[in-house]
Amino acid sequence: MSILLDSTWLKENLDDSHFVVLDIRSPREYNSAHIPNSRLVPYAKILSFTDSTSYFDLASKEQIEELLSILGINNESTLVICGDRGGATASRLFWSLAYYGLSVQFLDISFSKWMSLGYPVTDKIETIENSNFVITQSQLDFKVDHEYVLSKIKDSNSILVDTRSPEEFNGIVAAGPKSGRIPTSKNFPWEVAVGDDGYIFKNIEHLNSLFEESGITKDKEIICYCQVGERASHTFVALQICGYNNVKIYDRSFADWSTRDNLPIES
Amino acid sequence: MQQQSKKLDLVGQVCPWPVINTVKELKKLDVGEVLEVTVDHLPSTINIPSAVKKDGHEVLSSEETDEGVFKIFIKNNNN
């Protein structure tokens, strides 16, 4: 199954109940207009965090089951992610569901683009009948922690990819308490993979050449990180689209790394 | 009620801009003034406090005022 779902196909098949669009934009944006029959996913529901932590964790299996049950999803559904603002938040949703082995696709264009094309939208909020969604698949090897990353810093079989901006990578600005990067990381700013004209990703040929030019090769294990694991998710999906089959995210990312004692930081 | 000297509307912005723009705006405030930051990007509710505290600023409060919209009040303690 292709990761990207052709928006022109979806437009013609909105009544196919097998496909359920999950909209991760803000509630205000969703309430204003959304794809008919799509379901709003509150961002907080796919994360696990407390006021005292500086990072976000992936929601637990039980949290995801509860969310999908409230959204009326059944186990035969194919989930289609819809987002905006470049698609980083939507990518985090994609990664979260893919981690639990769920069948997920990504709408190839942003909601703004969908609107601008005059494709069907509504402000009607459908009543949803709850389901009883149970995750039966095994978790996939898509997530690592700081200890794993530390063990890979000098491993020639692994590549650490910092998906933040060059300014953050070089320690000029910080989106958290400390500036700098994880040693030996390569910088691949996530926006580089964002497509033109409302497309969430560049085409596969372009993505492949960008990754190869950056020294991110398919024979290595790729570990993506950013500040809190959102931008890294976009790069994760882009790599998956290109057929990289050993890609992981350090989801707590630099927000976690930079607040732990004795972990090396380069700038 | 919070003392308000300046409002910063960052609705629609995603990582890393809410943090960078908040830090930039705080530099324009006098010590003791309060910045009211509005965001609708959940990670920013953790990133912004985390970033400004290291500069000595004080986060007075952070709350969800509307579905998915958050207001963070920051007192400038360091110029």
Structure tokens at A78: 């194919």
The separation between the first and the last C-alpha atoms of chain A, rounded to the nearest angstrom, is: 41
Over the stretch A137-161, which tens digit does the pLDDT of each residue have? 999 999 999 999 999 999 999 999 9
Alpha carbon distance A158, A246 (integer Å): 10
Query: Does the domain made of B6-75 have the CATH classification 3.30.110.40?
Result: yes
Q: Which residues of B touch A54 (CB under 8 A)?
A: 46, 50
Closest CA to A26 of A118, A112, A119, A116: A112
Q: Give the pLDDT of chain B (79 residues) as one tens digit per residue.
A: 455 579 999 999 999 999 999 999 999 999 999 999 999 999 999 889 989 998 899 999 999 998 889 999 999 997 6
Q: What is the pLDDT of residues A187-239, one digit of tens each?
A: 999 999 999 999 999 999 999 999 999 999 999 999 999 999 999 999 999 99
The full set of domain ranges for chain B reads: 6-75
Q: Predicted ipTM?
A: 0.86
Q: How far is B20 from chain A (nearest CA, A)?
A: 7
Contact check, Cβ <8 Å, A173/B20: yes
Q: Give chain A's domains with CATH numbers.
A: 4-116 (3.40.250.10), 143-257 (3.40.250.10)
Across the interface, which of B47, B66, B69 has its CB nearest the CB of A228? B47
> Judging by beta carbons within 10 Å of its beta carbon (0-12, 13-18, 19+), is residue B5 exposed, middle or buried?
middle
- How many angstroms separate the CA atoms of B70 and B37, rounded? 8
How do residues A167-177 score in pLDDT, each as one tens digit?
999 999 888 88
A86 contact B CB<8A: yes
**Interchain proximity B50–A88, CB inside 8 Å:** no
Q: Which residues pair with B59 in a beta bridge?
A: B74
pTM of the model: 0.95
> Do residues B70 and B62 lie in contact, with contact meaning Cβ atoms separated by under 8 Å?
yes
d(CA A12, CA A8): 7
Q: Which of A55, A168, A177 sits opposite B16 (nearest CB)?
A: A168
